[in-house]
Amino acid sequence: MHRQWWSEIIGNLKEICVNKMVSPTSKGQTNMRLNFDVIIIGAGVAGLYQLHLMRQLGLSVKSFEAGSGVGGTWYWNRYPGARFDSESWTYGYSFSKELMEEWDWQEHFSSQPENERYLNFVADKFNLREDIQFNAKVISAHYMEKDRYWSLTLEDGECYTSRFLITAIGILSAPTMPTIKGIDAFKGRWFHTYHWPKERINFEGKRIGIIGTGATAVQTIQEVAKNAGNLKVFQRSPNWCAPLHNDKISKKEMDEIRSRYNEILARCRETPGCYIHSTDPRNTLDTPPDEREKFWEELYASPGFGIWQGNFNDMLNDREANALASEFIAKKIRQRVNDPVIAEKLIPKNHGFGTRRVPLETNYYEVYNQNNVELIDINDTPIQTITHNGIQTTDCEHQLDMIIYATGFDAITGSFDRIDIQGIRGKKLKEAWEDGPQTYLGVFVQDFPNMLMSMGPHAGLGNYTRTAEYSVEWIAGLVQYANEKNITEVKATTEGVKDWTDYVLGLGEGLLQNEIGSWMTGVNKNVKGKEAPRIMRYSGGHPAFREHCDAIAKDGYKQLDLS
């Protein structure tokens, strides 16, 4: 329904006068000209589509991208093994039937090189690069209250102005380094997985240390271990992982998938996380043990997130049910790892299965059966410092040629914190969110008019492109409405922000995943003030989120302060 509504808007654009918003004309405003109607920060999955829709609206628009190319996550994360954990054919854009007809996915879970090629293909097909400025890192964005516009400053000192500011900066785009002494002292090569170099790195025969066992670490470890001379994995907290079961897609299979795109996308629209997987309506404890075991075996042997997103209905909110699911996965780990002591170290003890986003793997646990791989539990022997020659723990100095930091992200709000964003009366966004984000619909922040967040905190998150397309289209619809009505300022109300934030917090209560420290709850122990979990995401399922937002648009955005 929302896509049909957006198509109708585009169809009516021929009669609309463009560039209405460039010259402020409201009472008390100057006749200064702004550089653009809209500025977008970011040229990743959400940013590219946002740029495309702003151009369709006939608006002057510029996207500023810190990287030298498009892709966002799939530009920066070049580490070995980086790939989708959503099925490729559910992750691609759906806004263009022609695009869907032209692109053939090569794997069910596509790797980073192909993902980057895809997004470059999209940028070229829709001629988006002409409105993107690359190597353009935004360091500040200040709202000019008197004249109702945003002023942005880039790292090189250049300044630009626009009526609307749209942030498409991603939820995992603020990487963090550990607070370990001596990082700069190491004389070998070192990388953070997010800032992986473009050139191929040779691991052959090298002594390599990797710090971290989260999702990026899991993908990296299983690749580096194939030809490293020696790989030492420094683990603080193990994660529950499940098999990816990836495979190539033949031309025949791709044609068959393409013939079912309408069915596939309809399926994604009806599930809570916009995946093809949906929660089983049965409860764990109501299902006979043998039937339960059979169901879990089927999920474990199936590709993708079925074991997480398609599990029993009570798995993520009933402690006993979650404990049973966790024990099933623990049994699998013990079966796959030869050394029982190592197996137990790889089984999480501080959180249940699925309460963190589940890393999907290919022979990850079998890596620890290799002679060239060593697991070092830094709870037993903590890291003291990085030395010239490697990593010093309380036990010994580990001599290394290369160190990989897979130490995660300051997620969801971290990318906002790294820009000096100031709203009305110089209010700083970072300070406004010091005790956790407060938003309206995950799009608006009180006292930050005309700033629209694509995929912001408290929004409906899930299978990223599926949820991002909706967010982008909803924002475009609002900008279109403002353009038609000559509205120069769009603000969230105090009541709207409070009600939505309270509603989101209420939805998140009782979910085990919101009690656990993870990127999904905004926790990163390397960032001061972000050591404890918070409810950061809308937990009511994406269909309900869309219904709520669609109703507001249909009602003429009366819940917003428009002037």
State whether residue 224 is helix, strand or coil.
Answer: helix
For 296, the token pair is: 């879990």
Per the model's pLDDT, the better-predicted residue between 26 and 135 turns out to be 135
Among 174, 177, 214, smallest CA distance to 192 is for 177
Of 161, 183, 192, 199, nearest in space to 60 by CA: 161
What's the CA gap between 46 and 52, in Å, rounded? 10
Q: What is the mean pLDDT of the chain?
A: 94
Please check whether residue 106 is in contact with residue 100, taking contact to mean a CB–CB distance below 8 angstroms: no
State residue 147 phi and psi, 5-degree precision. -105, 5
Stretch 478-499: mean pLDDT, rounded? Answer: 97
Instruction: Give the rounded percent of residues in the chain with a pLDDT score beyond 70.
Output: 94
* Overall average pLDDT of the 254-259 stretch: 98
| Sole residue written with tokens 């009933």 | 318
Tokens 């929660």 sit at which residue? 279
For β-strands 390-393 and 397-399, DSSP reports them as antiparallel
Tens of pLDDT, residues 158-217: 999 999 999 999 999 999 999 999 999 999 999 999 999 999 999 999 999 999 999 999
CA angle (517, 73, 36) in 5-degree steps: 115
For residue 523 the two structure tokens come to: 């926790």
The CA distance from 315 to 352, in Å, is 10
**CB-side exposure of 187: number of CA atoms within 13 Å?**
4
What is the per-residue pLDDT across 363-417, written as a single tens digit (0 to 9) for each?
999 999 999 999 999 999 999 999 999 999 999 999 999 999 999 999 999 999 9
The phi and psi torsions of 478 (rounded to 5 degrees) equal: -70, -45
Q: How far apart, in whole angstroms, are the C-alpha atoms of residue 155 and residue 338?
A: 51
DSSP character at residue 370: S
- Which of these, 64, 54, 65, lies nearest to 19 by C-alpha position? 54
Contact 521, 536 (CB under 8 A): yes
pLDDT band at 525 (very low <50, low <70, confident <90, very high): confident
C-alpha 42/C-alpha 27 separation (Å) is: 33
DSSP annotation string for 397-453? EEE-SEEEE---B--TTHHHHTSEEE-GGG-BHHHHTTTS---BTTTB-TT-TTEEE
The C-alpha atoms of residue 478 and residue 480 are separated, in whole angstroms, by 5
Q: Whole-model pTM?
A: 0.94
